[in-house]
Structure 1
């Protein structure tokens, strides 16, 4: 594959990665509560989902999904429901923390997200997002000639994964450096409230997204 195509793809992928979206807000929700390692588990979930979408695009399954209105509707509604569910969980957690801080002196500590849960949150946030499939379906024909093999396609997926890993690693590092601020109970209530609303908004927008 032509190196210039790879570099151009990296530039396009970088714009996609750094734009505000569910991934960034998921990292912002996870790291202050559960730490750096759990944040990296989110990232590995993102990466695993990219390879799933890349594989589906290579074999043409994603194209069938986009072309079928019924399949696209079911897929996007599953993704929307999952994002809204994450948002509702965050808001419920914020309410519980508020009740604990204003009620009894016995405050239950914030529940940390396990590595496995963080991985699957990152994975499902992306694997159920039809926008990722549409990105690969649009990118592969432009950056990879039809004569190229699946190895070339996976090269593009890997480039996307590396850009994603580097960007969110920097984000995790910055969040961990201000952990003293983010550990406060009031901050966690505020963070859960904001991320809850944001995820519900993302889910609602995904539910209303039209095919093509």
Structure 2
């Protein structure tokens, strides 16, 4: 256990419900490959939380902040990956439009690939510098110095994992319920295109932020 567990539980729940890159990626991939794609993506995202917990507990995050090259490299990798995901969404949105015009047939969802979904979620979370900073600043507030910092950090990551999986799982199911309606309308292309634009904006914002 940790100090002030219920304070941590309420705070991390509220922060998880706040929409961000992770939620957007789950929506995007659910629209792409159904609820399995969304759940797998969520699993990859949430698995990355344990990496941040270990990094925070071992003090590597503080070392990264002191090393401008290492931290800036982390930001560039994370921003570049978001840009790549956003460009892929825009490309598929344009491609779906061309296929609809040429064939006049409903678009077919792309085949679900477990490894791809897990990888996209995991990489997106692990190389998100804001998650690293959040864990470094947030977790130590609830750690009891008389106990193992690593075990307490992993415990908090497990709580966060469970909360995020429930929230993102519900989100994936809701998106899946309306995905059939989107597939037969231009709104389907609009949704994927909008997801691409937002992902690209997140990536560019990471690039434009002042680096240390």
What is the TM-score when the length of structure 2 is the normalising length? 0.91
The question of whether the paired residues in 1 share the 8 Å contact of 2:36 and 2:112 is answered with no
Q: 1: CA distance between counterparts of 2:112 and 2:14?
A: 29
Alignment of 1:51-130 (within 5 A): 51-104=50-103, 109-130=108-129
Corresponding residue number in structure 1 for 2:179: 179
Q: 1: CA distance between counterparts of 2:163 and 2:153?
A: 16
Q: 2: CA distance between counterparts of 1:133 and 1:108?
A: 38
The question of whether the paired residues in 2 share the 8 Å contact of 1:33 and 1:188 is answered with no
What is the TM-score when the length of structure 1 is the normalising length? 0.91
Q: How many pairs align?
A: 211
For structure 1, list consecutive stretches of 5 or more residues without a partner in the other structure.
none
Structure 1 residues 8 and 57, CA gap change in structure 2 (3 angstroms): same
Structure 1 residues 211 and 6, CA gap change in structure 2 (3 angstroms): farther
Kindly provide the CA deviation profile for residues 154-194 of structure 1, in whole angstroms up to 9, marking residues without a partner as x: 11111111111111111122122223313325232111110
Alignment of 1:33-52 (within 5 A): 33-52=32-51
- Local SS of the residue matching 2:174: helix
Q: 2: CA distance between counterparts of 1:116 and 1:182?
A: 26
Q: Structure 1 residue 211: deviation in Å?
A: 5.4
Structure 1 residues 184 and 105, CA gap change in structure 2 (3 angstroms): closer
For structure 2, list consecutive stretches of 5 or more residues without a partner in the other structure.
none
RMSD, aligned α-carbons: 1.9
